[in-house]
Amino acid sequence: MTRTIRIGTRASALATTQSRLVADQLSQRLGREVELVEISTEGDRTQAAGTPLAGTASTGVFVSALRDALLDGRVDIAVHSLKDLPTYAAEGIALVAVPAREDPRDVVAARDGLTLGELPVGSRVGTGSPRRVAQLHALGLGLDVVGVRGNVDTRIGKVRSGEYDAVVLARAGLARLGRLDEATEVLDPLQMLPAPGQGALAVECRADDELGDQIAAVLDDPHARAAVTAERAVLATLEGGCSAPIGALAEVVEGDDGEELWVRAVALSPDGALSVRMSATGKPNDAHGVGTRLADEMLADGAAGLTSPAADKRQDA
């Protein structure tokens, strides 16, 4: 009898929705029974306690407990928001699949159906992300950017209650929850580059488990894999030389000589007053190299001088 595939997931509504998407695809494509196993993570506990993630020392606060459950055999695979993954490898664990990616852009959920540009000067806009804070300031709209924590309901609830005029969220999360109608504006990447890996899921498995090859064969999307590989290479390289808020977005597009990978990235001072913004192109099969070279150019052009104290750039939601 073929054993049931146990999927480790955080307990939040968004995490379980994402894990069910993976579970449904595995059930359909592999013909296997699948069950979700909820795991409590450090990120969930600090979020519930109201502790700001940007001040935590750990970079993988939503990841480590799931990986522990994977390694000790409580679950067979783990599903993460890919942007939460640390950029360094974890011993004994393989990233076996990056499924097809949701739209990675950010959105605004504002009172009265307003866009960012329509909000009056001094409007309170909530976000817990240093990347979004810096890019909001860089737009020069005179907004009062304030911190916000909690799940989608909590954040949008602060707008409905009148505490905030708007919040900035990941479009992918709203889409997966079936709540896109609550977004009042989708932000163009020219205004705000998303977090590296935003909108993508990561499916991890024990490195020595043959299940990984089966999952890769039915779930891994080569375009999504190339894009996030480039974005994470940008992040890893920039983190080695600066601690500034970072945004990056890569896409596989059709070029004159076949498929090309186009990568855009930005590193900013916390107040958005200074930034280094660059782009690069290359082959999808050299995604890591394209991202690394782009980040090296950014560091040489001044990104190394941009600093942000204790900023954990992966905790966007």
Distance CA 172, CA 106 (A): 8
pLDDT given for residue 317 in this prediction: 60
Examine the pLDDT at 49 and tell me if it is beyond 70: no
Would you place residue 40 in the very low, low, confident or very high pLDDT band (cuts 50, 70, 90)?
Answer: confident
Taking the CA atoms of 226, 276, 104 and 257 in sequence, report the sign of the dihedral they define.
negative
Distance CA 67, CA 136 (A): 34
Consecutive H or E run containing 5: strand 5-9
Domains of the chain are 5-100+200-220 (3.40.190.10), 106-186 (3.40.190.10), 228-305 (3.30.160.40)
pLDDT given for residue 1 in this prediction: 56
Return the minimum-mean-pLDDT range out of 81-85, 120-124, 303-307.
Answer: 303-307
Mean pLDDT score, 107-129: 97
pLDDT given for residue 61 in this prediction: 73
pLDDT given for residue 309 in this prediction: 47
Interval 238-279: pLDDT, tens? 987 777 899 999 999 998 889 999 999 999 999 999 999 999
- Angle of CA points 168, 173, 174, to nearest 5°: 75
Distance CA 261, CA 251 (A): 6
Would you place residue 313 in the very low, low, confident or very high pLDDT band (cuts 50, 70, 90)?
Answer: very low
Mean pLDDT score, 211-238: 97
| Residue 244 or 189, more confident | 189
**6 contacts 74 by C-beta, under 8 angstroms:** yes
pLDDT given for residue 56 in this prediction: 38
pLDDT given for residue 46 in this prediction: 54
Would you place residue 43 in the very low, low, confident or very high pLDDT band (cuts 50, 70, 90)?
Answer: low
pLDDT given for residue 92 in this prediction: 96
Return the minimum-mean-pLDDT range out of 20-24, 183-187, 287-291, 304-308.
Answer: 304-308
Mean pLDDT score, 173-196: 97
Mean pLDDT score, 70-81: 96
Examine the pLDDT at 116 and tell me if it is beyond 50: yes
Would you place residue 77 in the very low, low, confident or very high pLDDT band (cuts 50, 70, 90)?
Answer: very high
Q: Which of 24, 68, 72, 84 is catalytic?
A: 84
Work out the mean pLDDT of the chain and round it to a whole number. Answer: 91
Examine the pLDDT at 34 and tell me if it is beyond 80: yes
pLDDT given for residue 208 in this prediction: 95
pLDDT given for residue 314 in this prediction: 40
pLDDT given for residue 311 in this prediction: 40
Q: Is 296 a catalytic residue?
A: no
**288 contacts 225 by C-beta, under 8 angstroms:** no
